[in-house]
Amino acid sequence: MVEAQQDFIQERETKIIKGNEAAAYAAKSARVQVISAYPITPQTTVVEKLSEFADNGEMPGTQYIKMESEHSVFAAVIGASKAGTRTFTATSGQGIFYAHEMIHWAAGARLPIVVAIASRGPAPPWNIWADFTDVLSQRDTGWMSSFCASHQEIYDEILMSYKVCEDHEILLPKFVAYGGFILSHTSKPVIIEDQDLVDKYLPSLPSEEGWPHIWMDPKRPMMFGNLIMPSGFYYEFRMKIHDAFIQAKEKIKNATKEFENIFGRHYGNGLIQEYRMDDAKVGVLIYGDLALQMEQAVDDVREEGYKVGMIKLRHFRPFPVEDIINSMKKVEIIGVIDRATAFGSQTGGPVSGEVKSALHEINGAPKVLSIINGLGGREVSLEQQKNQLKMLVKFKETGELPKDMIHGTLWDGLLEVE
């Protein structure tokens, strides 16, 4: 088994780097032991940067494995994780879909693998730009999933993810998603943390004995995830995955709090992050990079005298039902903005549908208006977001909905060519 050594030490440093590089630096800071790689736009530069680290000797002891497809990439990290190592890879869009079988396997085997997703729109038509349908389509695979709104959050969220995933009560894999190109290929200052502090924050790397429930020992061969007849415990093993998800909510909150104590960066309670919600009358729930620009929109619309607020959804799985209910009770109208599709569902957007079901039968719950925008990387301007907020204010004041809603959802920003 490969063990990370101490001979390369990163000191706290602010670097101007792309979002994909922030993901690679996070894997390095986490002392990841096995990386499997296959290129796909817009993720490619994550694994390219990691190959650079591995080649330069900046990740001593780390195995970098080049695979021939995403299916194999996930099979490789599953094998490496079973052997008792901290593993990492990154993919996007079609790559996720190709790996879907292995994605289910990793969760069923309860392996704490962390994967960065530079999200892109599913094909056809071909698309490589920001759209979270790729990661959200993995909803029921048993992977936790979270969204990042900034370059720094990519680095931080990957570190926090290892903390939660490797908890012995949880043992689940996780996707850390961020918008393709918008975050993956733009540069911003990112604080790369002191290695000693990261080591202190994260659980220690798995020992030779591996994880508590699964590991490989050639001297004592065994079979993991063997066939179970219907009368056996298959049903119970699946139920336990759901139980781990529910327990993960508290673990995510604790990991976020501890992260804040050590590194000083605040991400709400980990599951959601409120922005000016306390005295708001109208709110939006939004996720991913558009949440960052929405903060500005909230500030601007507030200057015009409207009390608006924002909830940034950080985790999609586990879905923070209780926190969403508590936060949304503060407002009368909530717009839920998806940059993804769930065709044929009640709203057409994956998150707005979830929010509606969370608020079902809750006294004092606000009215939900589902909004979809920015599909396939379509630009969503600050002005457009301000108009979304003002539209919600108008809905509250007059009960008047936009005229161009389609099947009860506002598909905001559809092209109309004259």
Q: Which residues bind another protein (CB under 8 A)?
A: 108-110, 168-169, 171, 209, 212-215, 220-228, 232-233, 236-237, 239-240, 243-244
Q: Which is nearer to another protein, 232 or 408 (CB)?
A: 232
Identity (one letter) of the amino acid at 16?
Answer: I
Alpha-carbon separation of residue 50 from 26, 39, 145, 147 (angstroms): 10, 12, 22, 21
Q: Which is nearer to another protein, 230 or 399 (CB)?
A: 230
Whether residue 318 is preceded by a cis peptide bond, meaning omega within 30 degrees of 0, is yes
Least distance from another protein to the Cβ atom of residue 215, Å: 8
Q: Which is nearer to another protein, 209 or 383 (CB)?
A: 209
Q: Which is nearer to another protein, 17 or 172 (CB)?
A: 172
Q: Which is nearer to another protein, 211 or 267 (CB)?
A: 211
Q: Which is nearer to another protein, 56 or 231 (CB)?
A: 231
**72: number of Cβ within 10 Å:** 17
Least distance from another protein to the Cβ atom of residue 49, Å: 33
Non-local (6+) Cβ contacts of 380 within 8 A are 290, 293, 339, 373, 374, 412, 413
> Is residue 318 within 8 Å of residue 140, measured between CB atoms?
no
Q: Which residue from 197, 348, 327 is spatially nearest to 272, judged by alpha carbons?
A: 327
Identity (one letter) of the amino acid at 257?
Answer: K
Least distance from another protein to the Cβ atom of residue 93, Å: 29
> Is residue 133 within 8 Å of residue 121, measured between CB atoms?
yes
**Exposure letters 88-127 (e unless 16+ CB within 10 A, then b):** bbbbbbbbbebbeebbbbbbebbbbbbbbbbbbbbeeeeb
Give the whole-angstrom CA distance, residue 334 versus residue 250: 25
Q: Which is nearer to another protein, 12 or 238 (CB)?
A: 238
Q: Which is nearer to another protein, 126 or 237 (CB)?
A: 237
Least distance from another protein to the Cβ atom of residue 211, Å: 8
Give the whole-angstrom CA distance, residue 383 versus residue 186: 21
Specify burial of residue 222 (Cβ count, 10 A radius: 0-12, 13-18, 19+): exposed
Edge-to-edge strand ranges of the sheet holding 144-147: 63-66, 34-37, 87-91, 114-119, 174-179, 144-147, 315-317
Give the whole-angstrom CA distance, residue 361 versus residue 378: 35
Least distance from another protein to the Cβ atom of residue 110, Å: 4
Least distance from another protein to the Cβ atom of residue 236, Å: 4
Least distance from another protein to the Cβ atom of residue 404, Å: 49
Least distance from another protein to the Cβ atom of residue 116, Å: 24
